[in-house]
Chain A
Amino acid sequence: MRFLVRRLAFYMIALWIAVTLNFLVPRLLPGDPATALFGRMQGRATVAQLKAMKAAFGIEQGNLFQQYVTYITHLLRGSLGVSFSHFPTPVTTVIAQDLPWTLLLVGCAVVISFTLGTLLGIIAAWRRGGIFDTLVPPFLLFLWSFPPFWVGLLLLYVLGLNLGWFPMAHSYDLNLPLTLTWPLVLSVIDHAILPALVLVITTIGSWVLGMRNNMVATLSEDYITMAEAKGLSPRRVMLWYAARNAILPQLTSFAIALGLVVSGQVLIELVFSYPGVGFELVQAAFNEDYPLLQGLLLVIVLAVLVANFLMDMLYAWLDPRVRQEA
């Protein structure tokens, strides 16, 4: 219990720092944010938008501390302000539209990558020094060296443009109505395959290597020798004695990866024009839509913190040593 309370306190501090950073960064830079922003928005923004901006920044009321209090109060009420570029849609609505796409694409990719990578890692460690173990991990390491978005560009060029196997952009065929019908489902899958493939092949290396190395360490334990001496089948020793104990650190990384799902894969979503959180983040940066930018960062941080806390709870339940250490 003390362990969880300590972790919770840490996450609250992390959240507070993120919120404060969100508040302070625009004010730390040289010049007055209001003047600078209004100058840039001149002619493009309506009076209503300027008012919304002022409210979003808490600019007009009082000194820095009073502005800070206003900002926090707004956040606690669940108000992230109004988006400039989607005016007058609230930031929360915009994010709610992007979130399902990112969860679908990146979530599936993370699960596939983790499952497949961990399995391959088990095999590599079990047949240590074999052909699979000598060829696959170095190759994945090599693949991992290239920027994932560039790998995406290459695959899009070859498989999308030249061979025409996959669509070039968006998350579904825009001619279809957005209702749950078979053509739409198929179209969504069709659009997700290529970006998901890129995400899997550029992230699977870390799962394979991580599992392989944990597993190699576990295989030298006495209970493995004992299990073999008992005459258990190799498969049983591999999966229920070695892999089962080696998988714990992998689960931590998996939880972190799940938390990061919400932050989207900014560059991959950009390359594939996939309308998720990451794509929205770039659009918000491009449109200088500060409330949306701040809101997105806040949601992203919140997701990571919640995922980490859930993992802490699961970990404390799975591994009694963690509970005692605290």
Chain B
Amino acid sequence: MAAPDLSSRPPSIVPGVPAPGTPDSRHRNAVLAALSDSPAALIGTGLLALFAVVAVVGPFVAPYNPSQLMVGPSTGAPSAQHWLGTTQLGQDIFSQLLVGTRASLEMAVGAGLLTNVIAVTVGLTAGYVRGWVDDILSTLANVFLIIPALPLLILISTYAAAFGVRGTTVTAVVVALVGWPWGARAFRAQMLSLRNRDFVMAARVSGESQFRIIYSEIMPNMLSIIVANVIFATLAALVAEVGLEFIGLGDTSQVTWGTMLYWAQTNAALLNGAWFWFVPPGLAIGLFAVGLVLTNYAIDEITNPRLRTLRAMPAPAPEPIQPQAESTIGDSSTIA
């Protein structure tokens, strides 16, 4: 943390030592302080808040019905009536972007949460129960880690589509079914380091059920990595879903960022010079991803006091890149 803002606090008698009462208020405002302290955290949470607002109010403030044909010229450039121009079928792109935000976020966050629920259940069970259950679950996780995700997603989605099973929910479920092992491995490792701690022994001796020990004694201690995993599962889900939809394996009748890119590609937006058709959805995806990454960085700063003390010291230089950030770079390059 940088120097505390002294103007609002009673002056300290000894320079460098906080006045009485300061540590308390510092603790209370740790979240706000970390946010105001780090521009990265502020930008990240700001971006996510912006997207959340658009997802909620987007469909109400959109100037046109996003699917309505010929509300403007065919492939019209941005203008006062159509801020981001129109598609080949004369649909308003700005309205599509606003309305599509909700479906895209619902799908990404939904798949992210589902991925995390599977990961937590598998990881904690494997790590706590050990034995053959652990062997089977770990092998399964490692197998799904090694199989390239996108080809597998394409195969499953193609079959699902052939049998008429299609839609954003299906896409989200398929993505979660393929994406859980990353988290599961992390949770299992965490469980292995916690399962023999004194408080777990105490719970075991006092006769608590296995379910209770795992979920209400041990799990709360992993809250920060669970939150980090939700964030990265959401990010991975977004990337996977956009990829599937871009190929045309999503529900192409829905308006989402991915299907916008699909229709732009199908109608040769690029060759027609309609940059305003394919640039906005990609930009939205990227900025949402930046928001997620920076927010995870902020959460790390708040939940990991070591990072804060390191920042306050002049040397050695702090690590600006978090371990989680690295591992997901690996993740998503395998997905993409």
| Co-complex (A, B) | yes
A residues lining the B interface (CB < 8 Å): 10, 13-14, 17-18, 21-22, 25-26, 29-31, 36-37, 40, 128-129, 137-138, 141-142, 144-150, 153-154, 156-157, 161, 168, 202-203, 205-206, 209-210, 212-213, 216, 220, 253, 256-257, 260, 263, 265-267, 270-271, 281-282, 284-286, 288, 290, 293-294, 296-297, 300-301, 304-305, 308
The answer to whether residues A36 and B163 also contact, given A148-B336, A153-B278 and a CB cut-off of 8 A, is yes
Q: A25-B159, A147-B243, A304-B147 are in contact. List 20 more A-B contacts (CB 8 A).
A: A25-B155, A29-B160, A30-B165, A36-B162, A128-B317, A137-B321, A138-B320, A141-B329, A146-B282, A149-B246, A153-B282, A202-B336, A206-B330, A213-B321, A260-B148, A263-B148, A281-B154, A285-B247, A304-B146, A308-B146
Is B98 an interface residue when CB atoms closer than 8 A count as contact?
no
Is B71 an interface residue when CB atoms closer than 8 A count as contact?
no
Pair A304/B148 contact, Cβ less than 8 Å: yes
Which of B29-37, B60-68, B283-291 participates in binding chain A? B283-291
B residues lining the A interface (CB < 8 Å): 139-140, 142-143, 146-148, 150-152, 154-160, 162-163, 165, 239, 242-243, 246-249, 261, 265, 270-271, 273, 275, 278-279, 282-283, 285-287, 289-290, 293, 316-317, 319-321, 325-326, 329-330, 332-334, 336
Pair B163/A209 contact, Cβ less than 8 Å: no
Chain B residue contacts of A304, Cβ below 8 A = 146-148
The total of interchain contacts (Cβ-Cβ below 8 angstroms) comes to 159
Chain A residue contacts of B332, Cβ below 8 A = 144
Pair B329/A281 contact, Cβ less than 8 Å: no
Chain A residue contacts of B273, Cβ below 8 A = 157, 161
Pair B158/A141 contact, Cβ less than 8 Å: no
- Across the interface, B326 reaches (CB within 8 A) one of A154, A206, A256, namely A206
Pair B147/A301 contact, Cβ less than 8 Å: yes
- Across the interface, A10 reaches (CB within 8 A) one of B139, B156, B243, namely B139
Chain A residue contacts of B289, Cβ below 8 A = 145-146
- Across the interface, A25 reaches (CB within 8 A) one of B156, B242, B290, namely B156
Chain B's closest residue to A153 (CB) is: B278
Docked Cα-Cα span, A254 to B321, in Å, equals: 20
Chain A residue contacts of B246, Cβ below 8 A = 147, 149, 267, 270
Chain B residue contacts of A290, Cβ below 8 A = 158-159
Docked Cα-Cα span, A30 to B159, in Å, equals: 10
Docked Cα-Cα span, A305 to B165, in Å, equals: 31
Chain B's closest residue to A299 (CB) is: B151
Pair A266/B317 contact, Cβ less than 8 Å: no
Pair A40/B162 contact, Cβ less than 8 Å: yes
Q: Which of B139, B142, B155, B282 has the most CB of A within 10 A?
A: B155
Docked Cα-Cα span, A105 to B156, in Å, equals: 26
Q: In the complex, how many angstroms separate the beta carbon of B160 from the nearest chain A beta carbon? A: 7
Q: In the complex, how many angstroms separate the beta carbon of B259 from the nearest chain A beta carbon? A: 14
Docked Cα-Cα span, A194 to B32, in Å, equals: 45
Chain A's closest residue to B282 (CB) is: A150
Chain A's closest residue to B271 (CB) is: A161
Pair A150/B286 contact, Cβ less than 8 Å: yes
Q: List 25 A-B contacts (CB under 8 A).
A: A14-B143, A17-B140, A18-B147, A26-B159, A29-B160, A128-B317, A145-B289, A147-B286, A150-B286, A161-B270, A161-B271, A202-B336, A210-B330, A213-B321, A213-B326, A263-B148, A267-B150, A271-B265, A285-B249, A286-B248, A294-B155, A301-B147, A304-B146, A305-B146, A308-B146
Docked Cα-Cα span, A213 to B152, in Å, equals: 31
Chain A residue contacts of B336, Cβ below 8 A = 147-149, 202, 265, 267
Q: Which of B285, B319, B333 has the most CB of A within 10 A?
A: B333
Chain B residue contacts of A203, Cβ below 8 A = 333
The answer to whether residues A288 and B162 also contact, given A206-B330, A209-B326, A282-B247 and a CB cut-off of 8 A, is yes
Q: In the complex, how many angstroms separate the beta carbon of B246 from the nearest chain A beta carbon? A: 6
